[in-house]
Amino acid sequence: LKQLRRGLGKTRRNFLNQLKATVGKGPLNEEAVMEIEALLLQADVGIEATDYIVETLQAKMREEALPLESAIAYLKEIVREILERPFQEKNTPITFAPEQDKLNIWLITGVNGAGKTTTIGKLAHLGQKSDYTCLIAAADTFRAAAVEQVKAWGDRANTEVVANPGKNTDPAAVVYDAISKAQSKGTELLLVDTAGRLQNKKNLMEELGKIRKVIDKKAPDANIESLLVIDASLGQNGLRQAEAFTEVARLSGVVLTKLDGSSKGGVALAISKQLNLPIRFIGAGEGIEDLRPFSSYEFAEALLS
């Protein structure tokens, strides 16, 4: 919680200090609510989630007077509700809990620079620490440096990396090899790094489609997750990228990276509300330990206290 609090420090300070200055001792009035609306938009909460928060606050205000403390407590409740809804709708477990004694395949997608490779290293480390047997497939065969980068993370996380050293390698072939290896070793968590070229949506779709086909054929019983890595510091721009991916990648959740030092942490709410995707993990640093399963409670606390 401390780390998350530090990570969200900028977002919180901007938001909370101004909120306190505006509301004073309260109770909350219409003018203060308008100020809250502006603050939420500034924190990249996005229009849909902001409207929802404002309307819910106004409804509560009509029922009872809200002094500052109660207003903040109620805001936390609304924030948690927004963040939790996609989990409920998709029936997603809140903790890091791939099924044991079974092959779980996690496709990690996202535009270059979002933090995909780093996230794979962190996830492998988390998996190993949680007593899962892990394997990484370096299926971002497009970028020359990508395979080397994944291998370096594999070393750090003590996790084997399946890669094809040949040129112009087909990503689907790497995934096929990796599944073969996973099946023979009894691997529980296979993390698949994929290429992040959004410039060419058709290519991306074809590539992800091929990878899916290989998985469906070779590992029909595996649990499949498709996680999109989003850079929180991009705020609403990251959300637009995400929308493009939701069209091609059959996503099951999001990893939100670079929450440390970002003043746009509110984008977590926009992602939950607009994309209806559960935020499964958050990255708050460049180190191997700097990834946590998402907790709506922790997030609301870190943002608003």
Q: Which residues bind ligand GDP (CB under 6 A)?
A: 110, 112-118, 196, 257-258, 260, 283-286, 290
**SS3 at position 31:** helix
Q: Considering the complex, what minimum distance in angstroms separates the CB of residue 112 from ligand GDP?
A: 4
Query: Which lies closer to ligand GDP via its Cβ, residue 74 or residue 153?
Result: 153
Say what angle helices 47-63 and 68-90 make with each other, to 10 degrees. Answer: 130
Burial of 165 (0-12, 13-18, 19+ CB in 10 A): exposed
C-alpha to C-alpha distance for 3 and 15, rounded to whole angstroms: 18
Query: Which lies closer to ligand GDP via its Cβ, residue 140 or residue 177?
Result: 140
Query: What are the binding residues for GTP?
Result: 110-117, 193-197, 257-260
Query: Which lies closer to ligand GDP via its Cβ, residue 197 or residue 250?
Result: 197
Query: Which lies closer to ligand GDP via its Cβ, residue 114 or residue 270?
Result: 114
Q: Considering the complex, what minimum distance in angstroms separates the CB of residue 228 from ligand GDP?
A: 11
- Residue 230's contacts (CB-CB under 8 Å, 6 or more residues apart) are 110, 114, 238, 239, 241, 242, 254, 255, 256, 257, 267, 271
Q: Under the phi-then-psi rule, with left for phi > 0, alpha for psi from -120 to 50, and beta for the rest, what region is 256?
A: beta
Query: Which lies closer to ligand GDP via its Cβ, residue 81 or residue 290?
Result: 290
- Residue 254's contacts (CB-CB under 8 Å, 6 or more residues apart) are 227, 228, 229, 230, 242, 271, 275, 277, 278, 279, 280
